[in-house]
């Protein structure tokens, strides 16, 4: 009979451990999801800055190239 009680206690302990692990994993998943959301937001901010800088560079190059083309042909308007 003692063996049966031990098996029941072992099963209860295993169940409690599983519940603790489940709680830990839920908390970790929540934390990781929050971190991922923050990282995505930061990445979007950086991407917007990069796009703005690239647009500025294209604009600056376009103005510079137009001046070189005008000077290269000798024609001015």
Tell me the per-residue pLDDT of 11-62, one tens digit each, with 9 for 90 and over: 999 999 999 999 999 999 999 999 999 999 999 999 999 999 999 999 999 8
**Both tokens assigned to 63:** 């103005």
Cα(55)–Cα(73) distance, rounded to whole angstroms? 27
Looking at residue 5, its pLDDT comes to: 76
Distance of alpha carbon 61 from alpha carbon 26, whole angstroms = 52
Q: Supply the pTM of this predicted model.
A: 0.58
Residue 2 has a pLDDT of 53
Q: CA distances (Å), 64 to each of 39, 47, 58, 67, in order?
A: 37, 25, 10, 5
Enumerate the H helices of the chain as residue ranges.
2-73
Q: Is the pLDDT of residue 66 over 90?
A: no
Q: What is the dihedral of CA 27, 31, 37, 38, to 10 degrees?
A: 160
């Amino acid at each position: 009979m003692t063996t049966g009680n031990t098996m029941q206690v072992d099963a209860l302990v295993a169940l409690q451990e599983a519940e603790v692990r489940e709680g830990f994993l839920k908390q970790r998943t929540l934390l990781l999801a929050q971190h991922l959301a923050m990282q995505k937001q930061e990445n979007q901010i950086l991407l917007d800055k990069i796009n703005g800088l690239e647009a500025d560079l294209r604009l600056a190059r376009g103005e510079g190239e137009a001046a070189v083309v005008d000077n290269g042909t000798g024609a001015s308007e």
